[in-house]
Structure 1
Amino acid sequence: MTDTVDTRAGDTRAGVSPVNTSEREALKETLEDYTLRFAPRSYRRWGPAVVATSALGGIAYLADFSIGANIGIAHGTGNALWGILLFAIVVLITGTPLAYYAARYNIDLDLVTRGSGFGYYGSVLTNLIFASFTFIFFALEGSIMAQGLKLGLGIPLPVGYLASTLIVLPLVVYGMKALAKLQVWTTPLWLVMMVGPFIYLVAAHPGSVGDFLSFSGVDSAGKPLGNGVSWAGIMLCAGVCLALIAQIAEQIDYLRFMPPRTEENKRKWWTAVLVAGPGWVFFGALKQVAGLFLAVYLIGHVADSVGVANEPVHQFVMIYEEFMPAWLAMTLAVILVVISQIKINVTNAYSGSLAWTNSFTRVTKTYPGRLVFVVVNLVIALVLMEANMFSFLSELLNFYANCGIAWIVVVATDIAINKYVLKISPKHPEFRRGMLYAVNPVGFVSVIVAAGASILVFFGVFGDAVAPYSPMVAAVLGFVTPPVLAVATKGRYYLRRGDDGIDLPMYDEDGNPSDVKLWCCVTQTEFERPDMIASAVPAPDGSKQYISSLALSCDRTGEHVLPADPPVR
């Protein structure tokens, strides 16, 4: 049973701070999706399997097919397969600590990042990196959907771009409850339609496997390139794939709703976290290989297919047509594309709105509403689509990968090395205003150094020969710099305070965030213990009162923020 601690001394509500409009709107919306804060136990009613299925439903996107086809056509199967393998290894290593922290402590990656080397305002930088990821991939997925609508229904691409954007808007309004239902109910149909073509090809054309393995790339005219396996080729392929490293943040937007881990459910809990967290990369890598497999088959067996072999809708239409009537093939291909793109783009729009809202509210102390930033994200994505982003996909993803890798590797390193090995970074995550310094140089500087250096390498500042290795530069610097800065600063910038002023345990006997409730003196609403902090403003009778992190983030005066009292380290 959930305990409630009434922290009001007598009838003190007449003397508490008034609720401003921004706080009221934030409170209303976060009761559904918890945009700005910790996800309380009272809301997390799903089992591990449902949360995992919802998270994996978001990776139904077809961009992997395009990515696999693009890198394979340009560099050959050998380089593509090694590049995809390298990408998968990096994602597994970096994604595991992030997924664990989000699921264990029920916070999104922005809140994890704040206490893992960035500080309260410093993590705004990484939020912008993540927001960029969501609108880039929304645009990519929307472009694929528009291609399907054009091929199947004759809808012009510009109109298709607009349709693929507007169709998502009503679906993403209602947050996690609606998204969970959408992902769970559409996944079985998606799996059947996705796997069918590969079973047919391997059974009906066993020679296609050998053709795939020996493929060495072709130019735009379809002439063989003869690319052999090389480190440069592998890194160019891995660089494109590693643009997806930030997908772990979208997985975490679901994993933060995991139920508490107990002795009874720990096996299911860990399975769900690992499969739906870093495990998404197994499915992503398989889709990239599948996309290249289909592209190689089309190039070898269908005339004039080089120009469209990297477009998933053409891939599935042409394969479906081999074992069913053309009208049915077209219908099923369009249905597959639409389902796949809706499943991922509701997640892109949802996660992007969280990132924008978190950043804007923290900087301005004003909450305009999450839906405002749903629209902002969709408008940016629509502009990219209308600019034909699909035509320069590989170049854009290669560039973005440098920023994404730097961010994810730095946060994962702070958790794994600075928290557990060096024990400099506080082991338990902290995200509340007043408990953190504005900026922690450990993570903030590390991301700037890692991303900045790798971008310079990418643009050939240090020579064309090393340009393909920019992702490796981002990863190595992202791994080395945080421990160096943590030792150099002696960890002094992690915590502004060592005590949040609440004499109640933060965690229960199983190590899960406590579900004891406290009264917020500003919003006049109960919040669970991990979301609360003592207010610097006493109650009218002089007693201590508490404020939620939600209200504190909108406190423009700062009067409720406790004074600095850094712990002795």
Structure 2
Amino acid sequence: MVANVKSTRSTRIFGGLVNNPVLEDYSLRYAPSSFRRWSEYAVAMAALGGIAYMADQAIGGSLAIQFGFTNAFWGILTAAIIIFLTGIPIAYYSAKYNVDVDLLTRGAGFGYLGSTITSVIYASFTFIFFALEGSVMSQAMNIFFGVPLAAAYAISTLIIIPLVVFGMTLLSVLQKWTQPIWITLLVVPVVAVLIKDPSSVAAWTSFTGKSPSGSSFNPLLYGTAAGIALSLIAQIGEQADYLRFMPAKKIGREWMWWLAVMAAGPGWVILGASKQLMGSFFSSLAVSHGTALADANQPVHMYIAAFGYVFPSAGIALTVAALFIFLSQIKINVTNAYSGSLSWSNFFSRLLHVHPGRVIYIFFNVGIALALMEANMFSILGTILGFYSNVAVAWIGAVVADLVINKPILKLSPSYLEFKRAHLYNFNPVGFGAMSIASVISVAAFFGTFGPYGSAFSAFIALLVAFISSPVIAILTKGKYYIARQAHYHAGTHHDVIGCTSCGFEYEKEDMACCPFHEGPICSLCCSLESECHDKCKTVGTVNSIPVKCA
């Protein structure tokens, strides 16, 4: 809705992509109550539908092959516990304040520009896993249709774009209606194998893979396996991209809100860890059916063997396995492409003060993913994920420390989440510093600076250092770098929506700030894109002044 708002400054004109809420999905904003029309169930199903990926099976299979069942099992379990616990506060704050993980990070100790580095970390997660999932789909295309891998990579990328352009509006429908089919195809082969070949469990638990010591617990192998599994810790960001659309709690039905948030937030890892174990199980099964050890971590070979217990015909088993993989990969890669577009939008809008629309960054994100696929990243999966997990864990550890220690216990961080440029310092040393310190130390450990144990447990080092550094820095700085000036939501009125003096559109007050440069209320996106104000609102003499039109 356009308001008749006049300004002494030139009016900002957004392109058609940005003005269309169905396409734009409030990519750089607070998700307003007027847009959050879905039920708790619909949001949760959309979020859980996004974890239908085969990366879990591929990772689980790779860990079992590299480190043996015992070390893979305990590594997966340990990582799952850490991911679940760290996911709780992020899911809660995202659903309560209706912001994505990029906006949440700004107010959780990183500052307005300090969180740009985490946008890149998160965007990296989306294109790395888009490439991984696309590789899995392409392997199925190659085996089933005979499509050359190079062409299959391009096809698996291009078919995702039309599905993700319409954002949450289409994704919620896609995930909801495909979920029952996907769950059925996920569970049936496991049950069939256990019924028809119970001895396969014993073969799985004694599976050593490539490691001579894989049959027994080895601390170094266990730590490395857990570190690789911890690369999935950033998945909570994709869950938050859905959780920000959670409706407000309803009186008498608060339990439904909490159930949906916990299931779709940290609860994803319960299914995720189960699929990793399933992947390790099916990789040993594939090897027992003649698949080469080097190929047994490919889901297409896993499910050809598994569905062979369901269907007597090898052709039917191959067909169903391929269909299951195609469905799974489409369900997850629409989420990877969607989340990546949000993160890149946040990154470039802050640095360049330009926002052409979320849709543009879909092409940018999937383009990077396609390049990784063509470079055959699947062959060095463990190395890529092992390195990436150090930085991702450092980021999440710093954010969680702020949410669970600095806010409620130390009370040095604001009790609410502030994400607007007008109210934040560009850099907050609390989160940004903690993540930087933890990343440098853990990456050095990963490359062997602190010996084999430091290398194996580098991801744990990242989590510990970030979690300790954040409150320590908050205490040392007395929390003074969180809020640059106090918020003024069009003081003196009771309007639910306020007109922006820059673009002329109306937004809910949570998305607004008072701007001395524009001499009136301004929306968070116009504030982010303003390049001429030079943060006038945060300079000495204007910090506490309120424009007349805001009073």
- Please show how residues 36-435 of structure 1 align to structure 2 within 5 Å: 36-218=28-210, 225-299=213-287, 301-324=288-311, 325-435=313-423
Judged with a 3 Å threshold, the aligned counterparts in structure 2 of structure 1 residues 563 and 307 are, in CA distance, closer, same or farther, namely: closer
Residue 530 (structure 1) aligns with: 510
Question: Does 2:526 correspond to 1:551?
Answer: yes
Deviation at 1:466, TM superposition (A): 2.3
Contiguous gaps of at least 5 residues in structure 1: 506-513, 540-544
Deviation at 1:230, TM superposition (A): 2.3
Judged with a 3 Å threshold, the aligned counterparts in structure 2 of structure 1 residues 443 and 23 are, in CA distance, closer, same or farther, namely: farther
Question: Does 2:477 correspond to 1:485?
Answer: no
Aligned AA (1:517): V
User: Is the Cα–Cα contact under 8 Å of residues 70 and 214 in structure 2 kept in the other structure?
Assistant: no
Separation (CA, whole Å) in 2 of partners of 1:559 and 1:23: 24
Aligned AA (2:77): L
Separation (CA, whole Å) in 2 of partners of 1:275 and 1:82: 23
Judged with a 3 Å threshold, the aligned counterparts in structure 2 of structure 1 residues 504 and 199 are, in CA distance, closer, same or farther, namely: farther
Deviation at 1:193, TM superposition (A): 1.0
Structure 1, residues 136-161: CA drift from partner, whole Å, max 9, x if none?
00000000000000111111111110
User: Is the Cα–Cα contact under 8 Å of residues 83 and 235 in structure 1 kept in the other structure?
Assistant: yes
SS of 1:466's partner is helix
Judged with a 3 Å threshold, the aligned counterparts in structure 2 of structure 1 residues 334 and 304 are, in CA distance, closer, same or farther, namely: closer
Judged with a 3 Å threshold, the aligned counterparts in structure 2 of structure 1 residues 233 and 30 are, in CA distance, closer, same or farther, namely: same
Aligned AA (2:390): N
Identity rate of aligned residues, in percent?
43
User: Is the Cα–Cα contact under 8 Å of residues 33 and 247 in structure 2 kept in the other structure?
Assistant: yes
Structure 1, residues 77-96: CA drift from partner, whole Å, max 9, x if none?
11111111111111111110
SS of 1:533's partner is strand
Judged with a 3 Å threshold, the aligned counterparts in structure 2 of structure 1 residues 311 and 25 are, in CA distance, closer, same or farther, namely: closer
Separation (CA, whole Å) in 1 of partners of 2:226 and 2:206: 19
Aligned residue pairs: how many? 541
Judged with a 3 Å threshold, the aligned counterparts in structure 2 of structure 1 residues 552 and 25 are, in CA distance, closer, same or farther, namely: farther
Separation (CA, whole Å) in 2 of partners of 1:24 and 1:353: 17
Q: CA RMSD in A?
A: 2.0
Structure 1, residues 35-80: CA drift from partner, whole Å, max 9, x if none?
1110000000001011000000000000110111111111111111
Structure 1, residues 335-379: CA drift from partner, whole Å, max 9, x if none?
111110010001001100110111101111111222221111111
Separation (CA, whole Å) in 2 of partners of 1:559 and 1:454: 36
Question: Does 2:542 correspond to 1:562?
Answer: no
Judged with a 3 Å threshold, the aligned counterparts in structure 2 of structure 1 residues 246 and 472 are, in CA distance, closer, same or farther, namely: same
Separation (CA, whole Å) in 2 of partners of 1:538 and 1:22: 17
Separation (CA, whole Å) in 2 of partners of 1:136 and 1:559: 36
Separation (CA, whole Å) in 1 of partners of 2:7 and 2:365: 40
Judged with a 3 Å threshold, the aligned counterparts in structure 2 of structure 1 residues 423 and 322 are, in CA distance, closer, same or farther, namely: same
Aligned AA (2:413): S
Separation (CA, whole Å) in 2 of partners of 1:250 and 1:441: 25
Stretch moving more, 406-415 or 547-556: 547-556
Separation (CA, whole Å) in 1 of partners of 2:84 and 2:164: 28
SS of 1:527's partner is strand
Aligned AA (1:162): A
Separation (CA, whole Å) in 1 of partners of 2:22 and 2:419: 16
Separation (CA, whole Å) in 1 of partners of 2:452 and 2:255: 49
Separation (CA, whole Å) in 1 of partners of 2:197 and 2:489: 69
Residue 542 (structure 1) aligns with: none
Structure 1, residues 355-410: CA drift from partner, whole Å, max 9, x if none?
01111011111112222211111111111101110100001000000011000111
Deviation at 1:330, TM superposition (A): 1.5
SS of 2:498's partner is strand
Aligned AA (2:504): Q
SS of 1:434's partner is helix
Question: Does 2:490 correspond to 1:498?
Answer: no
User: Is the Cα–Cα contact under 8 Å of residues 64 and 72 in structure 2 kept in the other structure?
Assistant: yes
Aligned AA (1:247): Q
Separation (CA, whole Å) in 1 of partners of 2:433 and 2:272: 31
User: Is the Cα–Cα contact under 8 Å of residues 69 and 206 in structure 2 kept in the other structure?
Assistant: yes
Q: TM-score, normalised by structure 2?
A: 0.94
User: Is the Cα–Cα contact under 8 Å of residues 228 and 386 in structure 2 kept in the other structure?
Assistant: yes
User: Is the Cα–Cα contact under 8 Å of residues 76 and 215 in structure 1 kept in the other structure?
Assistant: yes
Residue 464 (structure 1) aligns with: 452
User: Is the Cα–Cα contact under 8 Å of residues 502 and 518 in structure 2 kept in the other structure?
Assistant: no
Separation (CA, whole Å) in 1 of partners of 2:358 and 2:78: 36
Judged with a 3 Å threshold, the aligned counterparts in structure 2 of structure 1 residues 226 and 480 are, in CA distance, closer, same or farther, namely: closer
Q: TM-score, normalised by structure 1?
A: 0.91
Deviation at 1:233, TM superposition (A): 1.7
SS of 2:266's partner is coil
Aligned AA (2:108): S
Stretch moving more, 94-103 or 455-464: 455-464
User: Is the Cα–Cα contact under 8 Å of residues 6 and 501 in structure 2 kept in the other structure?
Assistant: no
Separation (CA, whole Å) in 2 of partners of 1:397 and 1:563: 40
Separation (CA, whole Å) in 1 of partners of 2:518 and 2:360: 35
Structure 1, residues 3-28: CA drift from partner, whole Å, max 9, x if none?
x9x9x9xx7x4445333345775333
Contiguous gaps of at least 5 residues in structure 2: 545-551
Deviation at 1:296, TM superposition (A): 1.3
User: Is the Cα–Cα contact under 8 Å of residues 158 and 386 in structure 1 kept in the other structure?
Assistant: yes
User: Is the Cα–Cα contact under 8 Å of residues 60 and 280 in structure 2 kept in the other structure?
Assistant: yes
Judged with a 3 Å threshold, the aligned counterparts in structure 2 of structure 1 residues 19 and 235 are, in CA distance, closer, same or farther, namely: same
Structure 1, residues 296-316: CA drift from partner, whole Å, max 9, x if none?
1222x3124322211111111
